[in-house]
Amino acid sequence: MNVNRDGDVELALKVQCALGESPVWDARTSELVWVDIRGERVYWWVPGSPSIRELHIGHTVSAVAPRRLGGYVIAVRSGFGVLDGEGTVELIAGVETDLLQNRMNDGKCDPAGRFWAGTMSETDDPGAGSLYRLNLDQSVTKVISGVTVSNGLGWSPDATVMYYVDSLAHGLDAFDFSVDSGEATTRRRIAEIPEELGLPDGIAVDDQGYIWVALYSGGALHRYSPEGELESRIAVPVALVTSCAFGGPDYHDLYITTAVDPERDEPLAGSIFRYRAPVGGRAAAFFES
């Protein structure tokens, strides 16, 4: 296993997100976009710029992705919405509105432009959440039930495999995936992640088909082969590492979101970090509706 040297991960932007999540590179504007779930905000930042833009949504926002028609698709507490260029949020599909203890969590667009996001109980009740797919006609399909903390999503470069994390299941799962229908079948565990190494959280897939997994409470990223072999461990200088996304002009910059743990003395917690990866990623898929 390869282990990074001290200093390989650099501070990209000092910011104090309570729970930074869902980073995505917007190729339209060359900006990194992400959310602060607890802070109820969406952020935009052009790397190298000393300033950032932020929008206070006014309620939980847990995931964001660029939309082909302009603006963004987002996951908010009560379901799926769209965010336009004026900062207006429109809820387009409610999810689990009868389950008051549940909220939406991490999400991402698949290669065909559908938006996926799952739910979780705010008290981490076992099996209380599900994974949903927002289809191109804006209907919603429940894909997986019995999830505790629905989290990272990613797809293989050839779009035949979907990767998925239920954080409290302590592993990385794979599904056979149909890009035409959006069906995910034949779930299997490809990597176990011991609890003492941290909880698996957000993920990114590189051009070689390897899966980068953020380790919440683990202060690291793991890079797994498609077969589930741990190939690299990348240390991050804060404990609560939440997600990662490829960006930059050549998609070799791996941007890393983090969160604040009030019980730890970590002045950089909640900031954005960057790792110059030896293998690049791909442009994020747009929501095509």
Longest dimension (CA), the chain: 48
pLDDT, tens digit, for every residue of 159-185? 999 999 999 999 999 999 999 999 999
Task: Find tokens 């079948």 and name the residue.
Answer: 185
Q: Two tokens at 52?
A: 């950032």
The per-residue b/e assignment along 5-14, b for 16 or more CB within 10 angstroms, e otherwise, is eeeebeebbe
What is the spatial distance between Cα 41 and Cα 37, in angstroms, rounded to a whole number? 7
Provide the residue count of the chain: 289
User: What is the full DSSP assignment across 181-225?
Assistant: T--EEEEEEEEE--GGG-EEEEEEE-TTS-EEEEEETTTEEEEE-
Q: What is the pLDDT of residue 50?
A: 86
pLDDT band at 5 (very low <50, low <70, confident <90, very high): low
pLDDT, tens digit, for every residue of 191-223? 999 999 999 999 999 999 999 999 999 999 999
What is the spatial distance between Cα 157 and Cα 80, in angstroms, rounded to a whole number? 26
Q: Provide the residue ranges of all domains of the chain, joining segments of one domain with +.
A: 2-276
pLDDT, tens digit, for every residue of 244-280? 999 999 999 999 999 999 999 999 999 999 999 999 9
- The set of catalytic residues is 201
Using an 8 Å Cβ cutoff, are 187 and 174 in contact? yes
pLDDT, tens digit, for every residue of 7-25? 699 999 999 999 999 999 9
What is the spatial distance between Cα 205 and Cα 190, in angstroms, rounded to a whole number? 15
What is the spatial distance between Cα 255 and Cα 237, in angstroms, rounded to a whole number? 14
Count of other CB atoms within 10 angstroms of residue 29: 11
CATH superfamily of 2-276: TolB, C-terminal domain (2.120.10.30)
Q: pLDDT exceeding 90 applies to what percent of the chain?
A: 96
The per-residue b/e assignment along 195-219, b for 16 or more CB within 10 angstroms, e otherwise, is eebbbbbbbbbbeebbbbbbbbbbb
pTM of the predicted structure, to 2 decimals:
0.97
Q: Two tokens at 98?
A: 């009868």
User: DSSP 3-state assignment of 57?
Assistant: coil
What is the spatial distance between Cα 1 and Cα 230, in angstroms, rounded to a whole number? 7
What is the spatial distance between Cα 246 and Cα 149, in angstroms, rounded to a whole number? 23
The angle at the Cα of 226, spanning 220 to 228, to the nearest 5 degrees, equals 60
Q: Two tokens at 39?
A: 């802070």
Q: What is the pLDDT of residue 86?
A: 87
